[in-house]
Amino acid sequence: MIQLVSCQESRRRIYASMLMELFDRLSLIPQGAAGPCVRETLRTLGETVPIRQREYPTGTACYDWTVPQEWSVRQAYILDGQGRRLVDYRDHPLHLVERTVPIRKVVSREELLRHLHTRPDLPDSIPYVSALGGEDWGFCLEHRRLAEFTEDLYEVVIDAELAEGTMTIGEGFIQGKTDREILLSANIWPSSLAVSGLSGPIVQTMIYRKLLERTNLKYSYRFLYLPETIGSILYLSRHGEHLRSRMAAGYVVACVGHGESYTYKKSRRGHSLADKAALHILKQSGVPYRVVDWSPIGGDERHYGSQAFDLPVGSLMRTAYADYPEYRTSLDNRTLISEVAMRQTVDLYLDVLMTIESNERYQAMQVHGQPKLDPKALYPFGGAPRIEALERLTAVYSYLLAFSDGTHDVIDIADKLNLTGKDIAEACSALEREGLLRPVSDAAERAGVL
């Protein structure tokens, strides 16, 4: 046992260092051009797990959306009268409004100020701003630096380009024993924000990596790495029907990089297997968490949960979007992100997925009074049995036999015992082996209809 523990411990350390190593490698990817940046991110993650890249050219239609042009930046800065670069994209990629149009002109102080974005509440941060379509341009900078803009005229140089190109989607897949699928989905950003950008794909990749090590998975697993909104809508336009017919549960992996507590955002239907398993593990594992209903504000769960698809996709996050001030600013960086938070989240996701794997609806075979439990077969105690252990195991058996009536599944029964589905999986197996429980139907039939 000592051997095993230290082996686990050493694996834990490897994973831990992998999380931060991935973070550091992804942080170094040059931000100059959106397309290559995304592709390089996927290539880097692809060294840890197999990821297939699919390309969709600019203009590809999906419902009322189209794949946009690719954006790239060569240089961008603001010059004062002395030719000093007051704000320079090379200093920090957030200095430039994302998808800003190119421009080169002299502007008055008043006009310039209308195009400068700051966060007065976080005066030392550079906010992340994305152009809302249209012909807009702009720079982002620290609020306290506005005082430096005292001259009347400035030269603005944005040498950027919106051009035909492709949008890239990354996809991974593990074939399980059945075709029922569990989906994990993370966004790939052309920017190196830490928690709001990189934590999702890193944590998802580590879950993917750990699942690859398991054998005998009942479900198949699909991992998507997508640009937000346009990526998931395009994927749905091509594969939405497949997901609708196959998916048992899914989660958007986002904002999983820091914070002490979890936020679970339910799937649209609010009582899907995804919700049930996540809430079960959050409740039984004793971590602090809060639960919010599905809403059309947030991440790609907006699109997975849209009326036409209504997929059972929730989102299990640490401290979520609006709950931390550094969200989408330059302060969302390596200082903010926490290896411990990411690692714990990986483990919690795995607990949730293993709970779904081991979930089952059973029917007890002896239903007239409480069944007589054969001590020899069911109580695997060497030496003199300890009475507490006997009573605890008897309680688990009794609950499983009493409530396995075709309506309660293992999660339901574990909840009544204040245990997790994982905790009682062994007792299920023992009762099934002794002919006292029988699965009501296979997982493929049950999943998704809970």
**Considering only residues 54-73, where is the footprint of its own copies by CB under 8 A?**
62-65
Question: Strand, helix or coil at 166?
Answer: strand
**Considering only residues 258-297, where is the footprint of its own copies by CB under 8 A?**
293, 295-297
Angle 41-46-49 (CA atoms, 0-180°, nearest 5)?
135
Please pick, from the candidates 372, 382, 388, 418, the single residue that binds its own copies as defined by CB under 8 A. 372
Among the candidate windows 35-43, 281-289, 305-313, 425-433, which touches its own copies by CB under 8 A? Answer: 305-313
Tokens 């999906």 map to which residue? 62
Which of 30, 435 has the CB closer to its own copies?
A: 435
Using the CB atoms, write b or e for 237-275: b if 16+ within 10 Å.
eeebeebeebbbbbbbbbbbbbbeebbbbbbbeeebbbb
- Give Cα 51 distance to the centre of its chain: 16
Angle 66-67-70 (CA atoms, 0-180°, nearest 5)?
140
Q: Residue 247's closest CA among 255, 239, 257?
A: 239
Please pick, from the candidates 30, 57, 81, 375, the single residue that binds its own copies as defined by CB under 8 A. 375
Which of 67, 353 has the CB closer to its own copies?
A: 67
Q: Residue 318's closest CA among 397, 230, 257?
A: 257
Which of 185, 199 has the CB closer to its own copies?
A: 185
Site string for its own copies, 306-335 (x = CB under 8 A): xxxx--------------------------
Site string for its own copies, 215-234 (x = CB under 8 A): --------------x--xx-
Among the candidate windows 53-61, 178-186, 326-334, 366-374, which touches its own copies by CB under 8 A? Answer: 366-374
Which of 14, 308 has the CB closer to its own copies?
A: 308
Does the protein bind its own copies through residue 382 (CB under 8 A)?
no
Which of 306, 333 has the CB closer to its own copies?
A: 306
Distance, CA of 280 to CA of 291 (rounded, Å): 12
Backbone angles phi, psi at 163, to 5 degrees: -140, 160
Q: What is the 3-state secondary structure (H, E, C) of 56-125?
A: EECCCEECCEECCCEEEEEEEEEECCCCCEEEECCCCHHHECECCCCEEEEEEHHHHHHCEECCCCCCCC
- 39: tokens are 């592709």
Does the protein bind its own copies through residue 367 (CB under 8 A)?
yes
First to last CA, the chain: 39
Please pick, from the candidates 18, 101, 364, 378, the single residue that binds its own copies as defined by CB under 8 A. 364
Does the protein bind its own copies through residue 368 (CB under 8 A)?
yes
Which of 335, 381 has the CB closer to its own copies?
A: 381
Q: How many residues bind its own copies (CB under 8 A)?
A: 45
Please pick, from the candidates 5, 28, 121, 133, the single residue that binds its own copies as defined by CB under 8 A. 133
Q: Are 172 and 51 in contact (CB under 8 A)?
A: yes
Please pick, from the candidates 50, 68, 385, 439, the single residue that binds its own copies as defined by CB under 8 A. 385
- 192: tokens are 């190196």
Q: Residue 346's closest CA among 48, 16, 47, 22?
A: 16
Does the protein bind its own copies through residue 303 (CB under 8 A)?
yes
- 211: tokens are 């699942």
Q: How far is the CB of 94 from its own copies (least distance, A)?
A: 16
**Considering only residues 414-443, where is the footprint of its own copies by CB under 8 A?**
416
Among the candidate windows 52-60, 131-139, 146-154, 249-257, which touches its own copies by CB under 8 A? Answer: 131-139
Among the candidate windows 80-88, 91-99, 100-108, 370-378, which touches its own copies by CB under 8 A? Answer: 370-378
Q: How far is the CB of 274 from its own copies (least distance, A)?
A: 18
Question: Strand, helix or coil at 268?
Answer: coil
Angle 274-277-278 (CA atoms, 0-180°, nearest 5)?
80
Site string for its own copies, 101-120 (x = CB under 8 A): -------------x------
Which of 20, 364 has the CB closer to its own copies?
A: 364
Tokens 């959106």 map to which residue? 34
Q: Which strand (E) or helix (H) includes residue 183? A: strand 181-187
Which of 120, 288 has the CB closer to its own copies?
A: 120
Q: How far is the CB of 144 from its own copies (least distance, A)?
A: 20
Which spans of this chain sit near its own copies (rule: CB under 8 A)?
Answer: 62-65, 114, 132-134, 229, 232-233, 236-237, 240, 293, 295-297, 302-303, 305-309, 364, 366-372, 375, 384-385, 390, 395, 398-399, 401-403, 405, 416
